[in-house]
Structure 1
């Protein structure tokens, strides 16, 4: 297995189409959502559905609704809220590419911050998931199921880390 680097991840983002970019940004947000709203995954379902359909109008509406429905800012969740707030209303390549990059960097920063001594296993796992999401999403609607599964898995990992830290604090 080849090692994942930030460079290879950025190359995948550079080559991705609008649907893959939307999926990549949304997956980063979805994986980090437990920091903002532990029970907020249902709020993102309509956004995922819009991505699956490639429906720009539904995308904009679903994003706007999620921005209103999710809480303001939980302690330590500023980068997650920023990901959500920065989601472009327009279904267009360049705004989605910029958002996917921003979400990628924010998610990697969140995971590195949760590692015990800087970038470690959580950060590395997030980097691998981001690459896998982009590779899956490149296969169109059929790959989105895999992207969502990876996102759900990553959210569970993050939730477990946060829960364990709360118990030992």
Structure 2
């Protein structure tokens, strides 16, 4: 089943976990503590309100965009959209390293800012979908194998099931997104622990990528 189909069929908890996992994997870009989003995961497990956890996370990371509104969700989706020429261009080899990093950070922050305060399925479905696209775009921006690949974005095709042309970091992120949705669909709340493990693994991978890029940028003559 494609990622698009998994998102379309997911329930409220699965959608919330999917979007949260995307955000959790991208925390290294925001400088957030690894435990910052744990209260949100806990709220998915016990069914409690995640609004206070959202506000605490936003406050810990400093001012951002307006949270929880439809406009913010649409903004996050447009920022992550595979049709964004500006974003796609920033992934190319001619883009300054700082602009690539800034774009990745912007996409990650918008995932948090656009998270709906209420976890109703109608609210979290567009957010989860936007987070999926934004996280894949972040991984493409930072994937060394994607640098200089002319016009090879492929995120829409990958989400629809055609993963042949995706660079390695993006393909791995796509698999993690599918794994989280499958775990929640198959095990409900009991799948949250394994979904969190999948997210933690992805966060470590992204942190390593960010660190390598920072070291490369600091080397003389790079």
TM-score of the aligned structures, taking structure 2 as reference length: 0.68
Q: Which residue of 2 aligns with 1:80?
A: 108
Pick the aligned partner of 1:130 from 164, 171, 177: 177
Q: Is the 8 A contact 2:173 2:202 kept in 1?
A: yes
**Local SS of the residue matching 1:77:** helix
Q: Which of 118, 123, 147 does residue 95 from structure 1 map onto?
A: 123
Q: Deviations over 1:114-149 (max 9, x none)?
A: 112434100000000000010112211110011000
Correspondence 1:142 to 2:190:
yes
Shift in Å at residue 41 of structure 1?
2.1
The gaps in structure 1 that reach 5 residues or longer are none
Q: Secondary structure at the match of 2:37?
A: helix
C-alpha root-mean-square deviation of aligned residues, in Å? 1.6
Cα shift at 1:72: 4.4
1:44 lines up with 2:37 in the alignment: yes
Partner of 1:110: 138
Preserved contact between residue 32 and residue 80 of structure 1 (Cα < 8 Å):
yes
Which region of structure 1 is more displaced relative to structure 2, 99-108 or 64-73? Answer: 64-73
Tell me whether 1:20 sits opposite 2:14 in the alignment: yes
1:61 to 52, 55, 63: 52
Give TM-score, length-normalised by structure 1.
0.89
Q: 2:23 & 2:168 partners in 1: Cα distance?
A: 19
Return the index of the structure with the highest Cα Rg: 2
Quote the offset at 1:22 in angstroms. Answer: 0.6
Distance in 2, matches of 1:122 and 1:28, equals 14
Q: Take 1:80 and 1:151, find their aligned partners in 2: how far apart are those partners?
A: 15
Partners of 1:72 and 1:81 within 8 A in 2: no
Provide the aligned length of Structure 1 versus Structure 2: 160
Tell me if the contact between 1:24 and 1:100 (Cα under 8 Å) persists in the aligned partners.
yes
Structure 2: runs of 5 or more not aligned? 65-100, 147-165, 218-222
Question: Quick one: distance in 2 between partners of 1:15 and 1:51?
Answer: 18
